[in-house]
Chains A and B, each alone.
Chain A
Amino acid sequence: MRRALPAAAAIALLLSPLLLPSEFYVNIAAQVLIAAIFALSLNLLVGYGGLISLGHAAYLGTAAYLTIGLVTRAGFGQLPAALCAVGLATAMAAVFGLLALRATGLGFLMITLALGQILWGLAYRWVALTGGDNGLSGFTRPAPLGLALTSPRAFYLFVVAVFACAFVLLALLARSPFGAGLRGVRDQPRRMQALGWNTWLIRYAAFVIAGFWGAVAGVLFAYYNQFISPHVLGLTSSAEVLLMVIAGGAGTLLGPLAGAAVVVLLKNVASAYVTRWVMLLGIVFVAIVVFMPEGLVPGLSRLRRRRRAAGAA
């Protein structure tokens, strides 16, 4: 009973955007959740693994390109295309991980950045394959089990379902022995080795799992936009998701969701009122570092505890 109540509340909260009158906001909500899955995937690497990647957009972008390309150019069915997209992007993560994990810290950052830039460059120039700067279009959303996803509300429901799966599985991972080991390796790799943990393999597994969920977000991204262009694979894209994770609170479960919400809302909602929303976003980031350096979610819960303590005193 104790666990059922917060879970029910969470589900209610997730479903609430369906009640919004304007479809514009339902779309925003879908974007937030897609970005949240993307951020949750990177959080596994950055927050729990302590490995800062500046090339995570590679998996989202590749999966999105494959989803759209296989359907519109190669005549694949929707489900095979989605499965291929996730499978191949994850396989790419498995290969990239072998390279990236030759180093940690700055070296790791650089290799992930480099691999991302290589993919971006290829997407940009290999016009025959990727449509170059024009990207790939002409894609329509699938209809899984007969449920058409063309309407924003139907699509949102679909995204909620995928998000819920991702969240639950990643939450389980965080609390699992594997998750504990990953965090231990982040904090004291030598000690963990001395205790018998295979530090490289744990990091590698986390890298591949992060790539997998990034790819899942990529498929959803393709469904949402029904279009893909090289920009998605670029440095700004990878930097943006990294900032979502850090701003929201790296190493927490709700942090990535908060970070995703901040960025997406500023980008899509604030931009209607504030032309200089990019500057505003930058100011928000700087403010977070100054006032809540551990991130929004840990920072807010710290404030809440202090209020409670002050109230009790």
Chain B
Amino acid sequence: MTAALQIEGLSKSFGGLPAVQRLSLSVAAGERRLLLGPNGAGKTTLFNLITGDLRADAGSIRVLGTEISRMRPHLRAHLGVARTYQVITLFPQDSLLHNVALALLGRSPLRWNPFVSLGRRAEVRERAWQVLDRVGLAGAAERRLSAVSYGEQRRVEIAMALAQDPRVLLLDEPFAGLSREERRDIQHQLAQIPRQVTVVMIEHDLDVALSFAERITVLHHGELIVEGNRAEVVADPRVQEVYLGA
């Protein structure tokens, strides 16, 4: 069966400093994969390489069999790659509805229309409202993004990523900066993700992350150190060295 995400020999350096070194990994369709590693291990760089924000120096990236390493970023989104960011990069001055609408329009031909009024497009409003409803934020739909809490903004961001109908979803530290209760909300949201969506998550909060992940990949200095299930990784001496020794 074709892997959802297949990376082979991926390398990226910044002015002589290697960020990702000949990395190879494979994520099966529908899998929940966790990426671990200390700061600077190359996790976010890897995400950026997958989405196209960065160009790889060498190697290949395949999503459901299609080679994407030379593809422009927005086309990768059309292919089914979606992501969230460490820092929330949404539109604070716009309503939640507007934010979600931008996500919905990203792959719709309507986005090229300069004549119709977006606000009066019932079908877009309806779908955006439904997306917000699924995460319990329909009541705040008309409010500005900056007016809702950080935790709620995170939920909107994840909802937007899911609204893209992705095949591969990349979550970059979705739990960062959240309170205990907000983490529970996100956990609940993540549990609702359809099975056919493949999820790769970067996270430092091991409690929540370990409960979510089925397989774990540990990176260090841009290289793959260990890969396996929860028990295997936790017991591995190399992982302990990376987190405690280095």
Contacts and interface: CB of A to CB of B under 8 A. Distances in A.
Direct contact of A and B (CB under 8 A): yes
Interface of A: 169, 172-173, 175-181, 184, 187-188, 190-199, 209
Interface stretch (B14-22, B81-89, B188-196, B229-237): B81-89
A180 B102 contact: yes
B103 to A, nearest CB: 5
B74 A191 contact: no
Most buried by A among B107, B112, B160: B112
**Which of A172, A192, A195, A199 has the largest number of chain B CB atoms within 10 A?**
A195
Interface residues of B, number: 37
Given A177-B105, A180-B102, A199 B74 contact: yes
A138 to B, nearest CB: 38
Interface of B: 51-53, 72-74, 77-78, 81-83, 85, 89-91, 98, 101-103, 105-108, 110-119, 121, 124, 160, 164
A278 to B, nearest CB: 36
B97 to A, nearest CB: 11
A241 B67 CA distance: 47
B72 to A, nearest CB: 8
A313 B72 CA distance: 54
Nearest to B115: A172
Contact of A176 (B77, B90, B116): B116
Contacts of A192: 74, 102, 106
A196 B119 CA distance: 20
A190 B89 contact: yes
A194 B83 contact: yes
Nearest to A188: B89
B91 A175 contact: no
Nearest to B85: A191
Contacts of B82: 194
B106 A175 contact: no
Max chain B Cβ within 10 angstroms of own Cβ: one of A175, A188, A191, A198: A191
A172 B117 contact: yes
Contacts of B113: 176-178
